């Protein structure tokens, strides 16, 4: 349904001609194809609703005026940045889409070791700008092409370097929000005009309310600017790379080293990770290349680091005895980068890492030490410039299991069982790429520690093949069941089902009520409803913030009250 002319004109006056469109092709390209999104699978022919218009605001003031106008006319709105997944798209017919690409500034405050960023500043650009000052930022797991502000304000933002740099959630300092009612809120020190250095004050410390722990995926208005904490970067002001595309390789000094650490058992793996974490040895820690599958990763690394190889080389490489041996050697592994602030520091870290390996009986994989592969991996992990390798096999993937809910001792103890479930599905059906079952990947947690790893498994499926999509959905039903049995909560493959219907539309509050009334602790969702209601009374801003209407809550109705905790 088109906007009435008067309202369209009002929006146009705010952003200017050329920054608003209701051209059919523009509207069509702001619909998320459910099966293509890493975060929202579904039948291919389902797309999110068509927006009434797409707007490109250029400033906080423009965003505020847009939101106020939406409130005046009862129009839903959703802001998004790089449109990585379904969370950023509108979910109702009566809605406009805000594309934040005109707001992309990056201001580095070197003295205070922070950067003030706007929504469309992508992680790769922020990193490049901060490296000029001897600093760097955490790059979220979704990679360098995604908005750091989006995952900082609206999600969690863990990444391979989080063990050193913190997650984006950890690094959030002051922030500026246009709340769903159009009010501008500056949290932390910026709220009292004292600069952007602190997230909690002096000034209104409402970070926990507008963002919470998990993030509200854009449901609490539009974050227009925020400051992030930066970390030391002991490398050059620009990270040089060499080689032909796509196999670029880092060209760094000796104070950077990449290793694939391997272990005889998952217990040894967990113990090593604990020691590495507690002793602050590494700069990056990520179980990265296992995302290609435990049987495939050796061959895949050979393909990706060699510009002359392709996926059709997989069968031959898998028959190569040396690659087979190396792949077997790194079945239980993790990729790490150590970075020395000085060569003395580097020497300590090298020795500490070797000692950890000695203590648990681990080793460094030989193939991954070859300069061509090591420098390729080093660049990959530092810049996160090739995260769309997630899609390399089939054009679509979905994270599932999501073993991050346990600490790494618990997660590691479940990997083989989860892998067996996936392997069985790969053999019995052809819905997903058969990669050996175990495709677990993820970081080693944030600075704060606590042992949390952000693991998930990858299921690679074909977005062009409805049977593949449908089959993977069935598989996620099974993984969800298993997760519940293990007390791990819902499977991340099902994460968005509760927020958005398979047809791409938002769920209604009635549907939320039905879902959350029977959860172990429905009171939590009632509280969230109260928070959301206070800031977003007209419910014009998204649906990912999971709430339960107090009217639908019956005292003692939660599963926990009945002694059920899964």
Least CB distance from residue 359 to other proteins, whole Å?
A: 35
C-alpha to C-alpha distance for 277 and 539, rounded to whole angstroms = 42
Contact call for residue 38 and other proteins (CB under 8 A) = yes
Residue 509 binding other proteins, by CB under 8 A: no
- Residues in region 360-419 near other proteins by CB under 8 A: 379, 383-396
Angle between helices 408-428 and 266-278 (to 10 degrees): 140
Nearer to other proteins, 354 or 467 (CB): 467
Stretch near other proteins under the rule CB under 8 A, chosen from 119-127, 211-219, 323-331, 499-507: 119-127
- Please answer whether residues 38 and 472 qualify as being in contact, where contact means their C-beta atoms are separated by less than 8 angstroms: no
Q: Which of 352, 434, 524, 559 touches other proteins (CB under 8 A)?
A: 434
Minimum CB distance to other proteins, residue 118 (Å) = 10
Which one among 3, 7, 14, 21 touches other proteins, defined by CB under 8 A?
A: 21
Min dist CB 51 to other proteins, Å, is: 12
**How buried is residue 278: exposed, middle or buried, by Cβ count under 10 Å (0-12/13-18/19+)?**
exposed
As given in the structure block, the two tokens for residue 263 are: 């272990």
Comparison of 271 and 465: residue with beta carbon closer to other proteins: 465
User: Which member of 78, 101, 277, 364 binds other proteins (CB under 8 A)?
Assistant: 101
Shortest distance, position 395 Cβ to other proteins, whole Å: 3
Residues 481-500 that bind other proteins (CB under 8 A): none
- Helix or strand (DSSP H, E) at 76: strand 76-80
How many C-beta atoms surround the C-beta of residue 2 within 10 A? 10
Q: Which CB sits closer to other proteins, 121 or 332?
A: 121
Question: Three-state SS across 129-161?
Answer: HHHCCCEECCCCCCCCCCEHHHHHHHCCCCCCC
Cα torsion 551, 555, 557, 559: sign: positive
Taking residues 154 to 193 in sequence order and writing x for each that binds other proteins by CB under 8 A, - otherwise, the string is ----------------------------------------
Please say which residue, 96 or 220, places its beta carbon nearer to other proteins: 96
Establish if 19 lies at the interface with other proteins (CB under 8 A). Answer: yes
| Cα–Cα distance measured from residue 170 to residue 166, given in angstroms and rounded to the nearest whole number | 6
Taking CB under 8 A as the rule, does residue 241 contact other proteins? Answer: yes
Q: Which stretch binds other proteins (CB under 8 A): 29-37, 188-196, 329-337, 485-493?
A: 29-37
Residue 221's Cα: distance from chain center in Å?
20
Decide if residue 430 touches other proteins (CB under 8 A).
yes
Binders in 273-312 for other proteins, by CB under 8 A: 296, 307, 310-312
**Position 246 contacts other proteins (CB under 8 A):** yes
> Does residue 457 bind other proteins (CB under 8 A)?
no
Confirm if 76 and 196 have CB atoms less than 8 A apart.
Answer: no
Q: Which is nearer to other proteins, 318 or 531 (CB)?
A: 318
Q: Please give the Cα distance from 192 to 174 (Å, whole number).
A: 10
User: Shortest Cβ distance from residue 296 to other proteins (Å)?
Assistant: 8
Helix (H) or strand (E) holding 223: strand 222-229
Q: Which one, of 205, 370, 232, 200, lies nearest residue 301 by Cα?
A: 370
- Residue from the set 23, 316, 328, 347 that interacts with other proteins by CB under 8 A: 23
Between residues 38 and 419, which has the closer beta carbon with respect to other proteins? Answer: 38
8-state DSSP, 50: P
Ordered DSSP codes for 436-473: -S--EEEE---TT-SSB-EEEEEEEEETT-HHHHHHHH
Give the list of residues 6+ apart from residue 495 with CB closer than 8 angstroms, or none: 39, 402
Residue 463 near other proteins by CB under 8 A: yes
**Interface with other proteins includes 30 (CB under 8 A)?**
yes
Q: Which CB atom, from 25 or from 213, has the smaller least distance to other proteins?
A: 25
Judged by CB, which is closer to other proteins: 32, or 360?
Answer: 32
């Amino acid at each position: 349904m088109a906007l009435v002319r008067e309202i369209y004109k009002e929006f146009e006056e705010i952003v200017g001609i050329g920054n608003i469109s209701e051209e059919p092709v523009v509207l069509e390209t702001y619909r998320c194809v459910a099966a293509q999104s890493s975060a929202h699978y579904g039948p291919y022919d389902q797309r999110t609703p068509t927006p009434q218009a797409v707007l490109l605001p250029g400033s906080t003031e423009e965003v505020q005026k847009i939101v106020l106008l939406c409130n005046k006319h009862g129009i839903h709105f959703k802001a998004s940045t790089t449109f990585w997944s379904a969370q950023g798209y509108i979910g109702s017919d009566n809605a406009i889409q805000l594309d934040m690409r005109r707001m992309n500034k990056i201001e580095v405050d070197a003295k205070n070791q922070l950067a003030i960023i706007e929504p469309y500043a992508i992680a790769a650009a922020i990193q490049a700008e901060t490296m000029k000052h001897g600093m760097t930022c955490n790059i979220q797991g979704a990679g360098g092409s995604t908005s750091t502000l989006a995952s900082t304000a609206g999600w969690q933002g863990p990444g391979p370097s989080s063990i050193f740099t913190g997650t984006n959630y950890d690094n959030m300092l002051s922030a500026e929000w246009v709340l769903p009612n159009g009010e501008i809120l500056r949290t932390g020190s910026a709220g009292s005009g004292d600069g952007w250095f602190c997230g909690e004050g002096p000034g209104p410390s409402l970070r926990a309310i507008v963002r919470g722990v998990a993030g509200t995926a854009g449901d609490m208005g539009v974050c227009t600017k925020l400051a992030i904490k930066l970390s030391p970067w002991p490398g050059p002001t620009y990270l040089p790379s060499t080689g032909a595309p796509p196999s670029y390789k880092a060209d760094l000094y000796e104070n950077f080293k990449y290793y694939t650490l391997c272990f005889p058992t998952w217990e040894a793996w967990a113990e090593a990770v604990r020691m590495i974490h507690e002793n602050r040895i590494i700069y990056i820690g990520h179980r990265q290349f296992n995302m290609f599958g435990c049987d495939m990763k050796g061959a895949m690394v050979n393909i990706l680091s060699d510009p002359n190889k392709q996926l059709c080389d997989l069968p031959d490489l898998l028959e190569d005895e040396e690659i087979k041996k190396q792949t077997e050697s790194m079945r239980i592994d993790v990729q790490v980068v150590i970075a020395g602030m000085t060569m003395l520091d580097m020497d300590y870290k090298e020795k500490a890492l070797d000692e950890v390996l000695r203590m648990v009986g681990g080793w460094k994989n030989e193939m991954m030490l070859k300069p061509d592969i090591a420098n390729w991996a080093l660049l990959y992990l530092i810049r996160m410039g090739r995260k769309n390798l997630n899609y390399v096999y089939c054009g679509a993937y979905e994270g599932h299991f999501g073993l991050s809910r346990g600490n790494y001792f618990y997660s590691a103890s479940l990997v083989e069982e989860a892998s067996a479930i996936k392997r069985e599905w790969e053999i019995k059906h052809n819905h997903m790429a058969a990669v050996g079952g175990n495709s677990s990947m993820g970081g080693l947690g944030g600075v704060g520690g606590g042992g949390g790893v952000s693991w998930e498994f990858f299921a690679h499926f074909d977005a062009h093949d409805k049977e593949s999509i449908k089959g993977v959905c069935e598989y996620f039903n099974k993984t969800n069941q298993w997760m519940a049995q293990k007390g791990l909560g819902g499977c991340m493959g099902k994460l968005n089902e509760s927020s958005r219907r398979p047809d791409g539309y938002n769920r209604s509050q009635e549907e939320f009520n039905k879902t959350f009334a029977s959860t172990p602790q429905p009171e939590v969702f009632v509280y969230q409803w109260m928070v959301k209601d206070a800031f977003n009374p007209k419910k014009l801003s998204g649906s990912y913030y999971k709430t339960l209407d107090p009217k639908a809550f019956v005292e003692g109705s939660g599963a926990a009250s009945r002694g059920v905790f899964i």
